[in-house]
A and B are shown apart, each in its own frame.
Chain A
């Protein structure tokens, strides 16, 4: 038993080293540039594929293997460099999270490029020559390569520590991490520093991908399967803390290994499968750590960014003509069934749903200044609440209300814990809760239908036709959005933006900032839940993917693409993103790459979102 525990701990440590290597690059990049690099998993995947090819090219053997490791790291570093020079450099002045959208475009681009170059089949890479065997510990065998990895983690930690503490470059990195404005004042060439950090970070991910090959085949799922874990490790450890990242990687990996080692255990008559816990172990750790220590295990309060901080865009009151235009638009929409075909109505129903979802997220991000990476939680809760009620025989209105109530309740619960944090910690905490909900929906077969989900959730008679359901969805969305737009310039809307602009001032002017942020969270969750409830009846079925990360990412992309600090932005974002994806999937086999390129292009042209950028152009025109 003890021997097993020891071996499982060693297994965990070996996995932790690889996780740490990937997280290391992400942490460096975030620390210096504040970029949430969604493409980091793609760099990892590319490292693996590159290593496969380089190894073949070098003819295998010792030279081939280690040459491939070095070559892959360098090649991926070059790709990171190119990404910085061609894309990120142009949008440093945009709101921080817009860069996340751009890197999301890069994810899609790299994925399709990899498929194009290396083909669809998984590629099992070569093993490390000389490290293919195993050693015996208490009669159990541990691969030599795992021993190598266990030692590699601390060695890399020491190397990076030395780099940051003992070199001039490291000093600059630390200065930029701790105080951007100060670094600029000290005359550090920010552009060159960012480029070098991006290259190093990407190179580390590529290195990890190459080193993962003896344990894991190069496959097209590598990017997304690691990216969430790496974010978790970075945040649990404390952003910018390199030892923290290692500690977090060890904790998460070892906990997983122990869960696997425990297997299925009978606890007081109940059978508990610890192996199934590995589905969300990292997110349980994340939620626990962030609730207890909002800045992570070894992190400290992020320094106030001087000068570099994002200045929120004004949200002027809409002109009278705006309401007229909106009303005319709605009338035009409602008249659409007279001449559009059924598919157009179905597509617009989706767009109405996503416009609601994106607008709900914009309440948090735009008005309250709180980014949520897990907004699918409330959307999904609305969908499940409505579906479960409907399947239990509740009338349509009651079902929709049930979804709304479930989502609102969850938002109240999660929001209570989340609003005490801010920035990236808050975003990751919302992600953690969303993933925990996802795991519950995924596992609770008896209620949620498990991974298959629930089917046969169609709207009743009068709403069963695509036309009437479109009218219902469009009207509900319009009324909700209309109220929301009124709310933006109501006392609540003003107070919320006041707490975002300057919480200390708002507090000193008598506002309860926590309560305001919490209210925003609940309101946002309720609207997302409404969107989810409408969604499920338009699709007739649902599965845990309504709660999953891609859904949250889609919502983020829509909001940021449209302009998160404008009223119409989320709607335009939902419209553009949905139509673009729909059109491209029908037009080309490599739609992911084209969609990725389109997203990148849009972020470059509209760094403040489509509507936000137009607003800025117009404001500039007015001044001249």
Chain B
């Protein structure tokens, strides 16, 4: 038998791909300021498609108004494949090949943390738009990472505000079994115990994300005979939970608090089966009557012929933050932008927010209200805007949690 030469022919197949991928395919243009954006578009499309429309609108507005510091803004967007490893590689590509001035994006907490760590090592500014984990700006905070969205802690705190008013004693907790759910519940417990001594947590259900056995979970909660339920599940899990719980009558006479439950992404699919009277954080887009929101709403509808979801606001505000930071810095240079981010004020559809110098968290708030069904769809009623700054712990506590 002839000896062989394995692989050399096979390698040739890869060669064409290699030239496409390994060699820089274009020289970075000098004119526009490039912004790197990465997110888990294929994994979380329900939130991120509106999100993308949001930032695209923002970029168009910014450029129509002449750009920033006299230059146009250009976003280079990438899918991070919902994987921290891929995200870090994509971030590297954006920084070293696309020559972006800074990074923004992120939805999943573990991906956001990985990109934040990369940003810190490579000394690139990263404005995390959506990842909610408290660690991003506290325990794992770093000088180059900033966050727009109200964190898990802040949103829990907003609901606790309402919960203590009711004085319910027996609470059941249900949350997706990963860091977001766990830390939401931990914060909820701690805040409730501090504000309402004697509160009891009579049941705790932690279904795997996306795989809730809703019948069994609702039954187990009912068996514990709670006065109130604190729910952190969202997406398909929430829809299953609502339908099973309603059919089994477990919500009768029980007050329910649901984190993110009023966001159109999660409320709209329920249509006329949306729960009634739940306390939620969310986004009553059709009822907010502030000039800044009216303007955003009109522009969004005109551009996309669709109504905005919360993701749209986050994407929009993220790119507005980027533009504001560069404008304040007067240049896209990293250290200048980083300095500008501290205390940066940005006008968003939710009003003016500030990126705190203390922990790089923005003061963007959320709407807290109750759910209702109107014209065959879920809406928020009795809502009000809760500013983010009201729901952050005292500065000393933050300093203790954040590496200095």
The yes or no verdict on A and B being binding partners is: yes
Chain A nearest CB, measured from B75 CB (Å): 14
Asked whether any CB of chain A lies closer than 8 Å to the CB of B236, the reply is yes
Residue contact B9 to A541, C-beta cutoff 8 Å: no
Cβ-defined partner of B14 (8 Å) among A216, A264, A575: A575
In the bound complex, what is the Cα–Cα distance between A515 and B49 (angstroms)?
Answer: 53
A-contacting residues, B283-326, CB 8 Å: none
- Interfacial chain A residues near B351, Cβ < 8 Å: none
Asked whether any CB of chain B lies closer than 8 Å to the CB of A372, the reply is no
Residue contact A458 to B213, C-beta cutoff 8 Å: no
Asked whether any CB of chain B lies closer than 8 Å to the CB of A450, the reply is yes
B-contacting residues, A8-26, CB 8 Å: 8, 11-12, 14-15
Asked whether any CB of chain A lies closer than 8 Å to the CB of B240, the reply is yes
Cβ-defined partner of A140 (8 Å) among B96, B114, B204, B222: B222
Q: How many B residues are at the interface, by size bracket?
A: 35 or more
Closest to B311 in A: A120
- Interfacial chain B residues near A542, Cβ < 8 Å: 84-85, 114
Contact A579:B7 (CB < 8 A) given known A225-B211, A350-B89: no
Residue contact B133 to A260, C-beta cutoff 8 Å: no
Contact A579:B216 (CB < 8 A) given known A134-B248, A451-B178, A610-B13: no
A-contacting residues, B1-59, CB 8 Å: 1-11, 13-14, 17-18, 20-24, 41-42, 45-46, 48-49
Residue contact B219 to A264, C-beta cutoff 8 Å: no
**SS of A interface (majority):** helix
Cβ-defined partner of B85 (8 Å) among A253, A546, A591: A546
In the bound complex, what is the Cα–Cα distance between A445 and B11 (angstroms)?
Answer: 43
Chain B nearest CB, measured from A293 CB (Å): 26
Asked whether any CB of chain B lies closer than 8 Å to the CB of A115, the reply is yes
- Interfacial chain A residues near B161, Cβ < 8 Å: none
- Interfacial chain A residues near B223, Cβ < 8 Å: 4, 261
- Interfacial chain B residues near A567, Cβ < 8 Å: 6-7
Contact A452:B113 (CB < 8 A) given known A344-B23, A576-B17: yes
- Interfacial chain A residues near B3, Cβ < 8 Å: 316-319
- Interfacial chain A residues near B78, Cβ < 8 Å: 585-586
Residue contact B4 to A134, C-beta cutoff 8 Å: no
Chain B nearest CB, measured from A150 CB (Å): 11
In the bound complex, what is the Cα–Cα distance between A181 and B100 (angstroms)?
Answer: 61
1/0 per position for A448-465, CB-CB distance to B under 8 A? 001111011010000010
In the bound complex, what is the Cα–Cα distance between A350 and B206 (angstroms)?
Answer: 35
- Interfacial chain B residues near A219, Cβ < 8 Å: 46, 235-236
Chain A nearest CB, measured from B368 CB (Å): 24
Chain A nearest CB, measured from B97 CB (Å): 4
B-contacting residues, A575-624, CB 8 Å: 575-576, 579-583, 585-586, 589, 591-592, 610-611, 614-615, 618, 622
- Interfacial chain B residues near A458, Cβ < 8 Å: 117, 121
Closest to B221 in A: A263
Residue contact A450 to B240, C-beta cutoff 8 Å: no
- Interfacial chain A residues near B42, Cβ < 8 Å: 111-112, 115, 591-592
Residue contact B269 to A121, C-beta cutoff 8 Å: yes
Residue contact A217 to B23, C-beta cutoff 8 Å: no
Given A121-B269, A261-B216, A318-B3, 14 new contacts (CB under 8 A): A11-B219, A15-B213, A122-B46, A142-B248, A215-B240, A317-B3, A344-B21, A347-B93, A445-B182, A538-B88, A542-B114, A545-B110, A582-B21, A618-B4
23 residue pairs A–B, Cβ–Cβ below 8 Å: A8-B220, A11-B215, A122-B235, A123-B269, A141-B249, A217-B239, A257-B216, A261-B216, A314-B1, A317-B3, A318-B5, A321-B5, A346-B89, A346-B96, A450-B179, A452-B135, A539-B89, A541-B114, A575-B11, A575-B14, A611-B9, A615-B6, A622-B2
